[in-house]
Every structure is written in structure tokens, then in C-alpha cells.
Amino acid sequence: MANYSAALDGVFTALADPTRRDVVRRLGRGPRSVGDLAREFPMTLPSFMKHVRTLESCGMIRTVKSGRVRTCELRRERLAVLDDWLGEQRRIWEERTDRLEQHVTDPKEPS
């Protein structure tokens, strides 16, 4: 449970920033070099690399260096942690609203 919680915290931390969400969105279309990704953001390369390191440290992306080019790739399986948590929350709230609906719509017998 602690590993799951730490993994979930890491994913939420990574996705809390709009730049990192945008990087994940772009990598969803396929691998890209750090240079290609960085060009699309109004910041210096060292600043952008902090975002890359955050995504990499929580396991959202993988980077591979070939010569002078570092390529980023989305690790889609890491999104399963988020999907599992959201699914559990959805189930909990659906059960609650189902119970509320049943409570509101069931006729009560007079005492």
C-alpha cells in the first residue's frame, strides 16, 4: 500500500504542473527529443530539464540518450496508477449517489 501511495503521490505531483501535463500530452503522440519538446515552451533548457527530471523520477517518462540527443518516451503503464485511483473514487461516489437516490425515491411507511 505504501508503494502504491508513493507512486500515486508522484504521479499527482508530476501532473500538478501545466507544463508537465503538456509534455505528457505531447509524448502521448510518440517519443520526442528533449530539444524538440523544449522549443515549444517559453523557458530555458535548464528550467525545462527540471520538468523532465520530475516526470522521469515518478516514472511517467523514460529518457534515452543516443549520442548528443536525449529522447523522451511516455510510460503509459504508469498512467494505470492514476486510472486505478480514479476508478476507485468513481465507484465510491457512484455507490453513494445510488444510496442517496434509493433513500430519496423509496416511499416511507408512516410510523
pLDDT in tens, 23-52: 999 999 999 999 999 999 999 999 999 999
d(CA 85, CA 91) in angstroms, rounded, equals: 10
pLDDT surpassing 70 at residue 110:
no
pLDDT at 2: 62
Domains in the chain with CATH codes: 2-105 (1.10.10.10)
pTM above 0.85, yes or no: no
pLDDT surpassing 70 at residue 109:
no
66 Cβ neighbours under 8 A, 6+ residues apart:
none
**HSE toward the beta carbon, residue 38, CA cutoff 13 A:** 17
The fraction of the chain above a pLDDT of 70, given in percent, is 93
- Amino acid letter, 19: T
Strand 69-74, strand 61-66: pairing: antiparallel
70 Cβ neighbours under 8 A, 6+ residues apart:
33, 34, 63, 64
Sheet of 32-33: strand order equals 32-33, 69-74, 61-66
